[in-house]
């Protein structure tokens, strides 16, 4: 029982870490010397990396970019709150009850990061062949899977001991 609990906790923590890396690091789209989105653009000139603003224009809609920022930040917040709620529920739940509230928080986090990743996939870099998706983008989709699995486990798990 304890091992199961530890495994679930570790899964949740890994989800949080993956979400944080995907949100904070600016590497959703990469080009040979450029690593960009969602907060800024890193450009390497003469071996030195400089942080610049993301270019504004019709192929870089500002409002969708801010929506991606907002929902990825919200996913992090919900996941972190979920950790605390899970620990609280461990101590306050009665025997036989399910961890529904923790599951709801993880589900909300899953929903938010899915919204962020979907908007990004659909609206940005549609016609650019000169580049590839960076590690943050991949981590965002992995975080979606992890948080989904985590929320399902919370909805199914029952408290065994009082």
Partner 1 sequence: MGRAGPMRGVWLGINQGTVCFLLLSCFEALCRVASSIPPLHFLSPPCTRTRSRVGLFLDRLLSGLRHPSFWELPAKPETMLTLLALASVVLLGIVPEQSQAIVIYTGWERHALLGSDIRLSCSFFSWRWTSEDVTFSWTYRPDGSRDSISIFHYTGGAAYVDNKGPFRDRVEFVGNPGRRDGSILIKNLDFNDNGTFTCDAKNPPDIVGRPSSVRLLVFEKVPIQAGVITGAIIGVVLGLLVLIVVIYYLMRFLVARRVFSLSVSKHGKKKKEGSQQRQIKV
Q: Are strands 41-45 and 48-52 parallel, antiparallel or unpaired?
A: antiparallel
Cβ contact 150:78 at 8 Å:
no
User: Of 74 and 114, which has the nearer Cβ to partner 1?
Assistant: 74
* CB 70, min distance to partner 1, A: 4
User: Of 8 and 70, which has the nearer Cβ to partner 1?
Assistant: 70
* CB 108, min distance to partner 1, A: 9
Of the candidates 134, 141, 143, the one whose C-alpha atom is nearest the C-alpha of residue 26 is 134
User: Of 63 and 127, which has the nearer Cβ to partner 1?
Assistant: 63
* CB 110, min distance to partner 1, A: 15
User: Of 33 and 100, which has the nearer Cβ to partner 1?
Assistant: 100
The site for partner 1 (CB under 8 A) is made up of: 56, 62-63, 66-67, 69-71, 73-74, 77
């Amino acid at each position: 029982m304890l091992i199961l609990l530890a495994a679930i906790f570790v899964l949740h923590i890994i989800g949080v870490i993956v979400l944080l890396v995907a949100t904070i690091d600016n590497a959703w789209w990469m080009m040979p010397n450029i690593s960009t989105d969602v907060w800024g653009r890193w450009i390497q000139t003469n071996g030195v990396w400089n942080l610049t603003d993301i270019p504004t224009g019709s192929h870089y809609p500002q409002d969708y970019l801010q929506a991606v920022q907002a929902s990825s930040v919200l996913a992090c917040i919900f996941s972190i709150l979920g950790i605390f709620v899970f620990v609280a529920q461990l101590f306050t739940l009665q025997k036989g009850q399910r961890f529904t509230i923790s599951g709801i928080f993880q589900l909300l986090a899953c929903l938010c990061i899915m919204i962020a990743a979907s908007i990004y996939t659909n609206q940005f870099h549609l016609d650019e062949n000169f580049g590839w998706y960076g590690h943050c983008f991949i981590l965002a989709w992995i975080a979606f899977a992890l948080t989904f699995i985590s929320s399902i486990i919370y909805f199914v798990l029952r408290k065994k001991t009082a």
